[in-house]
Amino acid sequence: MKKLLIFALTLLVSVSAIAAETYSSRFISSFSACEPYTERSTIKSGKEAVALTKLVQGVVDHKCIYKQVILRPSVKDVTTCAFTKPMLEEISEAMKNETGEKFNVDFDTGKEIVKLYGLTKSQLIWTQYLNAEPVCHREIIPR
């Protein structure tokens, strides 16, 4: 039960972190080209700040490898993704053409429905891919 609770809380923070994140022009450019690049930021999540590191690692086996690391006092949440070219283009276009329009969605985590408010289109697309098991693999490591 404790592991399920940690997973659910970490998932909610992970989804919240990407939902609160904005993308620098350098990150968008590097991600679009799948060129190695690392960007770090701190995001407020509830009462605590979480450290977010986004790493574009480059192309391996015709897929763009991306890693996201979220550090909280209690856990380290590492998500590694292998994006195909069409996926990379979809995410990149959404980031480049962000209109600022906000969406409220019920996001199915596979374990529960989480309500997300005020996501932009690119944040919504990121959230869907980061939680898609065939595309991204998550590892939650207690600290």
84 or 104, which is more confident? 84
> Which residue range forms the structural domain that includes residue 68?
2-142
CA distance 51 to 53: 7
Choice among 43-47, 53-57, 133-137 with the minimum mean pLDDT: 43-47
Give the mean pLDDT of 94-110.
86
CB crowding 69-89: b at 16 or more within 10 Å, else e: bbbbeebebbbbbbbeeebbe
Percent of the chain with pLDDT over 90: 52
Residue with tokens 């856990």: 75
- Give the Cα separation of 136 and 116 in Å (integer): 20
pLDDT > 70 fraction of the chain, expressed in percent and rounded = 85
Query: pLDDT at residue 96 above 90?
Result: yes
The chain-wide mean pLDDT, for the chain, equals 84
Domains in the chain, number: 1
Report pLDDT for 53: 95
Mean pLDDT of 70-88: 94
pLDDT category at 99 given cuts 50, 70, 90 is confident
Using DSSP, state whether 118 is helix, strand or coil.
strand
- CA torsion sign for 63, 64, 65, 70 is negative
Residue 58, pLDDT > 90, answer: yes
Residue pair 77/138 in contact by the 8 Å Cβ criterion: yes
pLDDT recorded at residue 18? 52
Model's pTM, two decimal places?
0.80
